[in-house]
Structure 1
Amino acid sequence: MTDAKQKAAPNRSRGRRIARGLGATAAALVVAAAGTGAWYYQRLDHNITTFAPEGIASSRPPVATPAPTGGRPVNILLLGSDTRDDGNSSLGGGDEGVGHSDTAILLHVYADHKHAVGVSIPRDTLVTIPPCLLPSGKWSQSRTNQMFNSAFTIGEFKAGNPACTQNTVEALTGLRVDHTLVVDFKGFAAITSAVGGVDVCVPNDVDSYGIHLTKGRQTVSGQQAVDYVRARHGLGDSSDIGRMLRQQAFMSSLIKKVQGRGFDLTTLLPLADAATRSLTVDPELGSPYKLAEFAQSLQDIQLSDIQFVTLPWRFQGARVAVVEPDASILWNLLRQDRTLDGHPTGDAGASPGASTSPGAGAGLEPGPGASPSATATATATATASATADPGGAATLDVPVTVHNAAKTAGLAGRTALALRGNGYTDITIGANTPARRTTLIEYAPAQRAAAEHLAQLYPGAELRSTATDSIVLTLGQDRADTPGLPDGTAQDDTAGLGGASPSALPSAIPSGITDNTRPADADLCSDLNFG
C-alpha cells in the first residue's frame, strides 16, 4: 500500500507541473494577445483624426426612426480629399494647400442592414451651402449657386471642413448624416495595398497629366489605384461624371475583395491600420472600438444587394444642375427607407435597384408596407380623376409650370414631386414670383378641362384663362403652411425638409434615377462612361 502511494505521488506531482506549465503558457499567450491588442488599439487610436463637433449644424434632419424589426437606417457620407498636404503631393502632384472633396458618396444602409445604396454627388453640382463654422468661431453666410466640392474649403482649414460638407448634404437631401469619413490620397493608396490590390477595368490607354495606365482588366494598388480613381482627362469621356462611374466600379471591386478575403484578423488589422492612418471621421466614430463596431454592422451586406446611383443631373454650362423632381423623389425614397424601385426592403424579393424596364420605370403600387392613408389617398385620387375627367390621362399629360409666390422655401419643388406622385408627367419648376395671397391656376382656353382637374387638388384656387403654352400653377400664401401636397394627402414630419409624405410616391420611377443606377455586382468594364 505504501509502495503504491509512493509511486502515485510522483505521477501527481508531474501532472501538477504539466498543468502549471500549460497554465503558464496559456497565461503567457493571453498576456501576449492582450499586449498585441493593446498595442494595436493604441496604434489605431493614435491614427484616428476627428473633426470638431462644433461645426455640425444645430438644426438638422431628424434621426431615422427604427423599423418594426428593430433596425435603423444609417447614412454614411464618404468623402475623398484631394489635399496635397502631409505628403499627399507625391501621390497626386500639385502644390500643398486646402483640398476639395472631389469624391462624395452618401451611403444609405437600410434598416435591415442587408441592403445599401450609394449616391454619388457630382463635385460641380450647384447647391446652396448653409452657414458653416469658420476658424474665428463665427459662422459663414449661406451661399447659393455654389459648387458642391467648395463646401469642404469653407474657412480654409488645413484638413478641410468636413462638417460644412456634411451640413450641405443634410440641407440638400433632408437626410440625417449619421457618420462622415474622409480619406486622402495616402490613406486610399494604403488601403488598396493592404488588401493586395483591387481589380479594375481601364477603358483606354492613358499617358497624360503624370498618369500612366494601360487599357484592359488589371489589378491596381497604391499609386496606380489613386491614378485610376482620380484621373479625368484622357480617360473615358474625360468628364467628372464618367470619373464617378469608374469610382463606383472601383468601390464595388474593393468591397468584393474585402468580402472575399474574409473578416479575419490577418485581413482586418493591416486594413484598419492602413485606413486609419489617413482617415478623418466624425466624433462619434473617434475610437477603434466604435470603428470596429461600425464595420461589423455592415458585414452582412452582400455585393448583389448594393446599388450605386448618381444624383439626377444635367450640364449647366461648365457646371452640373440637379434635375427635379427626380432628385427629390430619390431623397424621398431614402427618407422612407425604400429601395430605388419604391419597395420596403422587408418586401419579398425587394432589391435596392431601380427598375430598368423600358420607359420611365416600373409602376409602383402600395406594397405590404404601405400605410392605410397611402392606400386610401391613392384610391381617392384615382376615383376623383375618373369622376372629373373620364379621359383622365389627357389631363395628366398636359404641361404644368409651378411658381412659388408663397415665400416658403422649397414649396415649388415639393409641389412638383407631389403632382408627379398624383400622375402628372410634364412638370417644370419655375422661378419664385412676387408674393400673392391665393393660389392661381392660369390656362389656355383649350386647356380648361385640365385646369379644372388640377383645381380639384387645390380647393380655393383662382382659375384664369390667359395666353399660355402650359398650365401655370402659382402657389399663394394659402399654401404656405402645407408641404405642397394636394388636399387630402397625408403629411409627415419630413415636409419641412423638402420631403413629401409616404403617400406621395411617384407612379413611376423617373429616368433621372433609372438611367444613373449601377449594380455593385455589374461587370467591371460596363458603363464606365456616361455618354
Structure 2
Amino acid sequence: MTGTRGKRGSGRMRIPAVVLVSLLALLTAGVGWVYLKLNGNISTFDAGGLSDDRPGAGAAGQNVLVIGSDSRSGGNSGLGGGEGDVGRSDTALLLHVYGDRKHAVGVSIPRDTLVDIPPCRRPDGTWTAPRTRAMFNSAFSVGESAKGNPACTQNTVEKLTGLRVDHTVVVDFEGFSAMTSAVGGVPVCVPKDVYAGDLNPNLGARGDLLFRKGKQSVSGQKALDYVRVRHGIGDGSDIGRIRRQQAFVAGMIKKVRSQGLNPTTLLPLADAATKSMTVDPGLGTADKLISFAMSLKNIDLHDIKFITVPWRYAGDRVDIVQPDADALWASLKADRTIDGQDATEKGREPGGGTGGAAGGAAQADAAAPVTGDGTRISVANGTTVTGLAARAAAALQERGFTVTGTSTAPDRDQATTVITFGPGQAGRARALTRMFPGAYVRGDAADGISVTLGRDYATTSAASPAPVAEPSAAASGTPSPETKEQARSADDDPCADLSYG
C-alpha cells in the first residue's frame, strides 16, 4: 500500500483554476441550442453534505472554491495522475470576487496544510468524526468515492477561513486538457530542460525530454504535465509548483482576453469546461453560470491577484501562520483588497470619491479607538448565554454609542456575530469589528446599526468583558506585508517569481 501511494503522489494532478476563466465563455452562450447543450453538460454534487453550522454571509463579495480533481473515471484514465477508483484533489483555490466587481483575488491552499476537518458525510449517509491537524487534501477523499467529496472540502475551507463559500466548482483532468486546447495553448516559462523523470521520480531514469528551457505554449497533455511537474523546475517544492500554477492561470486569463470575447473562441471553451465541471446546485444551470460570469467580465488583469495562504513548513507538512492568515480572511470578509482598498459595491462613488466603508467621516482608522459619537445601535442575543446583550450594550455605551434596545434573537444558536447597517453607516459598522472580532458585516435597508451576538462573542467577552479598542492585525483585516509582497497579478511577466525560496 505504501508503494502505491508513493507512485500516486508523484503523478497527482495539480489543476489550476482555469475553469473560472472558461465561465466567461458563457456570456455569449445563453440562447438557443447552445444554451441547451451547455445546460446538459453540467453536473452537480449533493449539497446535503454541507455543514449545518456555516458562517454567515460576508460584507458584499462572493467566495468560490475551485478544486482540481484527479478522477480516473471516463476520459481521464489516459491522462495520468492518481490510481484506483478514489477521487483525489491536490489543488484548491478560493476565489474572492469583490463587491465592486472590479477586483478579485485567488487564495491557494497547499495540499499538505494541516487543518481541522469537521464532520463530513460519507456516500452511505453516515458522518465522520471531526479530525484535527489532518492534511487538507484528505477532506476531498472522505468516503473514497470516484467523484471525491467536494462538500467535505467546502466544509473544511469554511472552518479554516470563517468565510462562507458561496459556490464550489470541481474540474477534472479531461476538462483541463480540453480547455487549454480550446484556447490554442497557454504561454509558460520553463527555467531549464525538464524530463519525464522529473514528472515521475519513480520512473528510475531521466526519461524523455518533456520541455525545453525557455518560453513556450502548452496545451492538452503538455499543459497537464507542466502544472504537475515539481522536481525538475525551480526549488522542487509544492509551494513553488503552486506559484507556477498561479502564473499558468494568469496566462490563461490573459490569452482569453487577448483573443476577445467572441463565440469562435469562447464556445469551444465553454463546452469543454461544462463537460468536465461538477458544481454545487447554486451553479447547476447555464443561466446561473452566466450570472456568475457576468460578475467577472469587467475586472482588469492587474486587479486579478493570486496569493498563497500565509504558511510555514512543519516537517514535511505545512502550517498556517497566524495572525497573518486571520488578517487575510478578515480583509476578505470586509471586502478590502490585499493592498487595503475598500472594494465593496458602494466603495467607489461616481467622480472618483470614496464612499461606503472607506469614505468620509465614516472611515475607520484601524489604529484609532472605536467611538460611537451617539450612533444609534440595537443589540440582540443570538445565544443561550444569559445577559450577553446587556454586556455588549454596556461596552458599546462606554464608547459613546446610543443603545436603542436589547432583545433576544429568534435564532438562539448563532455561531458568529452579525452586524447589519443602513445607509451611511458602513464605516461605523466595519469599525465595530474591532469590538466584535470575526463578525460578519452586511448592508440592510433599515436605518442605523444592529448587532446580533453569536457564540464567538460569548467566548471572547467572558474572558474580557470590555473589548479592547486597539486592534490586532487580524481584527483590522490588514494583510501582512509578506502577503502583499508575494501577490501575483494576471498581467505579470509569466517568467517572474515562479518559485519559493
Q: So what's the TM-score if we normalise by structure 1?
A: 0.65
Q: How far does residue 139 in structure 1 lie from its aligned partner after superposition? A: 1.2
Match of 1:246 in 2: 244
Q: How far does residue 151 in structure 1 lie from its aligned partner after superposition? A: 0.5
Match of 1:54 in 2: 48
Cα contact 1:312–1:327 (8 A) shared by 2:
yes
Matched AA of 1:52: D
Q: How far does residue 227 in structure 1 lie from its aligned partner after superposition? A: 0.9
Match of 1:521 in 2: 491
Q: How far does residue 379 in structure 1 lie from its aligned partner after superposition? A: 3.4
Q: How far does residue 115 in structure 1 lie from its aligned partner after superposition? A: 0.3
1:478, 1:37 → 2: CA distance? 49
2:101 equivalent to 1:113: yes
1:262, 1:325 → 2: CA distance? 41
Match of 1:482 in 2: 461
1:281, 1:36 → 2: CA distance? 18
Gaps of 5+ in 2: 1-28, 200-209, 350-356, 372-434, 436-455
Indicate the SS of the match to 1:88.
helix
Match of 1:505 in 2: 476
What whole-Å deviation, never above 9, does each CA across 1:123-153 have from its counterpart, x for those lacking one?
Answer: 1000001111111212111111111111000
Q: How far does residue 202 in structure 1 lie from its aligned partner after superposition? A: 1.4
2:168, 2:496 → 1: CA distance? 29
1:370, 1:240 → 2: CA distance? 46
- Equivalent residue for 1:219, pick from 203, 217, 220: 217
What whole-Å deviation, never above 9, does each CA across 1:236-284 have from its counterpart, x for those lacking one?
Answer: 2111101100010001011111112222222221111110111111111
Q: How does 1:166-177 map to 2 (within 5 A)?
A: 166-177=154-165
Q: How far does residue 511 in structure 1 lie from its aligned partner after superposition? A: 4.0
Identity %: 55
- Equivalent residue for 1:81, pick from 35, 48, 69: 69
Q: How far does residue 484 in structure 1 lie from its aligned partner after superposition? A: 7.3
Cα contact 1:106–1:120 (8 A) shared by 2:
yes
What whole-Å deviation, never above 9, does each CA across 1:322-347 have from its counterpart, x for those lacking one?
Answer: 00110011001111100112231236
Q: How far does residue 381 in structure 1 lie from its aligned partner after superposition? A: 8.6
Match of 1:99 in 2: 87
The structure, 1 or 2, with the larger RCO (C-alpha pairs under 8 Å, 6+ apart) is 2
- With over 3 angstroms needed to count, the CA separation of the structure-2 counterparts of 1:479 and 1:131, relative to structure 1, is closer
- With over 3 angstroms needed to count, the CA separation of the structure-2 counterparts of 1:278 and 1:179, relative to structure 1, is same
Indicate the SS of the match to 2:132.
strand
1:266, 1:275 → 2: CA distance? 15
2:197, 2:121 → 1: CA distance? 35
Matched AA of 1:136: D
Cα contact 2:179–2:272 (8 A) shared by 1:
yes
2:123, 2:474 → 1: CA distance? 44
Indicate the SS of the match to 1:480.
helix
2:230, 2:462 → 1: CA distance? 40
Match of 1:331 in 2: 329
2:379 equivalent to 1:379: no
2:133 equivalent to 1:145: yes
1:124, 1:270 → 2: CA distance? 34
2:238, 2:107 → 1: CA distance? 15
1:161, 1:478 → 2: CA distance? 32
Indicate the SS of the match to 2:189.
strand
1:135, 1:196 → 2: CA distance? 39
Q: Name which of structure 1's ranges 289-298 and 163-172 shifts more when overlaid on structure 2.
A: 289-298
2:171 equivalent to 1:180: no
- With over 3 angstroms needed to count, the CA separation of the structure-2 counterparts of 1:501 and 1:38, relative to structure 1, is farther
Q: How does 1:260-279 map to 2 (within 5 A)?
A: 260-279=258-277
Matched AA of 2:339: D
2:235, 2:482 → 1: CA distance? 20
Cα contact 1:344–1:369 (8 A) shared by 2:
no
What whole-Å deviation, never above 9, does each CA across 1:396-420 have from its counterpart, x for those lacking one?
Answer: xxxxxxxxxxxxxxxxxxxxxxxxx
Cα contact 1:489–1:503 (8 A) shared by 2:
no
Match of 1:154 in 2: 142
Match of 2:359 in 1: 368
Matched AA of 1:87: G
What whole-Å deviation, never above 9, does each CA across 1:17-70 have from its counterpart, x for those lacking one?
Answer: xxxxxxxxxxxxxxxxxx9954333322222110001011121111224xxxxx
**Runs of 4+ deviating beyond 6 Å:** 483-486, 500-503
- With over 3 angstroms needed to count, the CA separation of the structure-2 counterparts of 1:93 and 1:306, relative to structure 1, is closer
Q: How far does residue 158 in structure 1 lie from its aligned partner after superposition? A: 1.4
Indicate the SS of the match to 2:106.
strand
Cα contact 1:208–1:234 (8 A) shared by 2:
no
Indicate the SS of the match to 2:134.
strand
Cα contact 1:125–1:148 (8 A) shared by 2:
yes
Cα contact 2:198–2:231 (8 A) shared by 1:
no
- With over 3 angstroms needed to count, the CA separation of the structure-2 counterparts of 1:100 and 1:380, relative to structure 1, is same
Gaps of 5+ in 1: 1-34, 66-71, 349-365, 383-456, 458-476, 492-499
Cα contact 2:104–2:304 (8 A) shared by 1:
yes
1:127, 1:188 → 2: CA distance? 27
Indicate the SS of the match to 1:232.
coil
Matched AA of 2:45: F
Q: How far does residue 502 in structure 1 lie from its aligned partner after superposition? A: 10
- With over 3 angstroms needed to count, the CA separation of the structure-2 counterparts of 1:57 and 1:187, relative to structure 1, is same
2:152, 2:48 → 1: CA distance? 11
1:150, 1:137 → 2: CA distance? 19
Match of 2:57 in 1: 63
1:149, 1:174 → 2: CA distance? 18
2:121 equivalent to 1:133: yes
2:136, 2:473 → 1: CA distance? 28
Match of 1:229 in 2: 227
Matched AA of 2:159: A
**Superposition CA RMSD, Å:** 3.0
- With over 3 angstroms needed to count, the CA separation of the structure-2 counterparts of 1:332 and 1:370, relative to structure 1, is farther
Q: How far does residue 509 in structure 1 lie from its aligned partner after superposition? A: 4.3
Indicate the SS of the match to 2:155.
helix
Matched AA of 1:519: S
2:367, 2:313 → 1: CA distance? 35
**Bigger Rg, which one:** 1
Cα contact 1:203–1:528 (8 A) shared by 2:
no
